[in-house]
Amino acid sequence: MTLKSSSFGIAKSISFRSPLAVFSFVAVLGLLAASVGILKGTFTAIDPGPRGGPPGAGGPLPGLTQQEAQLFAAGQTTIQEIDSVSGTIPNTGLGLGPRFNMNSCAGCHNFPAPGGSSPPVNPLIAVATLNGATNTIPFFITPNGPILRAFLIADTNPPTDTHLFTITGRSDAPGCSLTQTDFNSLKPNLAFHTPLALYGDGLIQNISTSTITTNLAADAAAKQALGIGGHTGGAGGSGRFFWKGQGTGLQTIAAGAYQNEVGVTNMLFPNEDDPTPSCQFNALPEDTGTRRNPPDYQKIANFVTFSAGPTPIPDTPSIANGRSLFSQVGCAFCHTPSLQTTGSSSPALSHKTVALYSDLALHHMGPGLADGLVQGNAAADEFRTGPLWGLGQRIFFLHDGRTTDLTVAISSHVSSGNPSSEANAVVGQYNALSDEQKQDVLNFLRSL
């Protein structure tokens, strides 16, 4: 894409070599437009957009031992490994399919660095027909839209998830014939989740349930006045992960995701996702490892465990004011700025302050955001408070990636019904701010 002129007189010809460059340039134009608006007295707060610069995420925790650093590095390599059906395609691992969503972990957890979330260009488009596969692109997958995982809304817990693709037609799956899910016929009964970033999940795992419940009980009168409740997720409050907060145990999560998303069976999840005999090409489980070379799912879990949380950019007066306003209007009651980890055998994880901006609890968000899914002990309109760290470079917002605009994401928290969104009053207080104050809040959020 090439811009031939500029209303701001910045340049007469600017070439964009990547979608992210477009995002960054639009952000610059937005900030300039806001500045012009202030001078003219017609200022309207806008989302500055994903910031440029280094990722500030994807690296190891500080203070790792030499062995832990090696485990992290091995896992970082493993999540980027491409899998084929039997490992016969050069530079690939084995175990893809028979049904799958992606051919590598980092294919979905990709941006702004391996271990992140949806990138600006959707990689699912290319994977659908890679190596001769005959898949069609589901209606909800678009070239510049978010990566989405589809679930069938039904009275089951957990809900049935539907794989996007099959290995039918691939050069390394001769004789395999599977029918791809007919998503068009299921359209009224589908719900979607975007991939969540994996950064800092080892720290999150080491935040105790008692810390979460104590934080929930704090400021009870102020929260009650705003209509904020909340409860812990998972069995016995042990849930920490996923949109519905039901996930526990990073090793189990890694093994389950590797089997379900990529199709690679392992010792914890040894069964293929489709038993059709003509589509079985490997001995099971496929991901076994050895004493000296652990299975891939363990390496993936090590990467997640020892990864550092995203690093915010330095403060400006606007960012500092936005942080203060964020707390004043009540956002910090759910998006708790920091929680403490408990003791751990790893000093890098032990008694650390985790600036995740989440209470890790479940809250009602009302019918406007409800996905209709009951998972763990989360109701159809309940979600774990999404950690905001790393939001500065995030592209898609909310559980289904419905918007790239932070202002739309905030307004989408408002929803009346039975139950109503617990964020209604807080967003009302945010809306009562001046445009300049709202811009400070947005600038703060994009600094994280």
Intra-chain end-to-end CA distance of the chain, in Å: 29
Nearest to 119 by CA among 128, 129, 109: 109
Please give the pLDDT value at position 23: 44
Helix axes 435-445, 317-328, angle to 10 degrees: 100
Q: Which two tokens stand for residue 303?
A: 């990467």
Distance CA 130, CA 124 (A): 10
Please give the pLDDT value at position 42: 61
Tens-level pLDDT at each residue, the chain (448 residues):
333 333 323 232 333 334 444 444 444 444 444 444 444 456 799 999 999 899 999 999 999 999 999 999 999 999 999 999 999 999 999 999 999 999 999 999 999 999 999 999 999 999 999 999 999 999 999 999 999 999 999 767 777 779 999 999 999 999 999 999 999 999 999 999 999 999 999 999 999 999 999 999 999 999 999 999 999 999 888 999 999 999 999 999 999 999 999 999 999 999 999 999 999 999 999 999 887 899 999 999 999 999 999 999 999 999 999 999 999 999 999 999 999 999 999 999 999 999 999 999 999 999 999 999 999 999 999 999 999 999 999 999 999 999 999 999 999 999 999 999 999 999 999 999 999 999 999 999 999 9
| Contact yes or no for 393/55 (Cβ under 8 A) | yes
- pTM to 2 decimals? 0.89
Nearest to 118 by CA among 59, 195, 47: 195
Residue 158, preceding bond cis, omega within 30 degrees? yes
Q: Is 339 left (phi over 0), alpha (psi -120 to 50) or beta?
A: beta
Q: Is 85 exposed, middle or buried (0-12, 13-18, 19+ CB in 10 A)?
A: buried
Q: What is the DSSP string of 185-208?
A: HHGGGEEEEPPPP-TTHHHHHTS-
Please give the pLDDT value at position 91: 95
Torsion of CA 256, 259, 264, 269, to 10 degrees: 70
Helix axes 250-257, 296-305, angle to 10 degrees: 130
| Contact yes or no for 402/376 (Cβ under 8 A) | no
Distance CA 448, CA 446 (A): 6
Cβ neighbours, 10 Å, residue 242: 20
Distance CA 146, CA 194 (A): 7
> Cα 418 vs. chain centroid, distance in angstroms?
28
Distance CA 147, CA 396 (A): 9
Nearest to 209 by CA among 245, 183, 175: 245
Please give the pLDDT value at position 155: 67
